[in-house]
Amino acid sequence: MSVCDGCGNPSDRMFTVQTYDDRVFVFDSVERAAPLVAPSCAEGACITLSHGIEIGDAIFCCYGCARRSGLQALPNNVSNVAG
User: Residue 54 and residue 71: Cα distance in Å, rounded?
Assistant: 12
Among 37, 55, 59, 61, binds Zn ion (CB under 5 A): 61
The H helix count followed by the E strand count for the chain is: 2, 6
Among 14, 46, 47, 74, binds Zn ion (CB under 5 A): 46
**Binding status of residue 53 toward Zn ion by CB under 5 A:** no
**Binding status of residue 4 toward Zn ion by CB under 5 A:** yes
User: Residue 45 and residue 20: Cα distance in Å, rounded?
Assistant: 22
User: Residue 31 and residue 57: Cα distance in Å, rounded?
Assistant: 26
**Binding status of residue 9 toward Zn ion by CB under 5 A:** yes
**Binding status of residue 67 toward Zn ion by CB under 5 A:** no
The residues of the shown chain that bind Zn ion, judged by CB under 5 A, are 4, 6-7, 9, 28, 32, 41, 43, 46, 61, 65
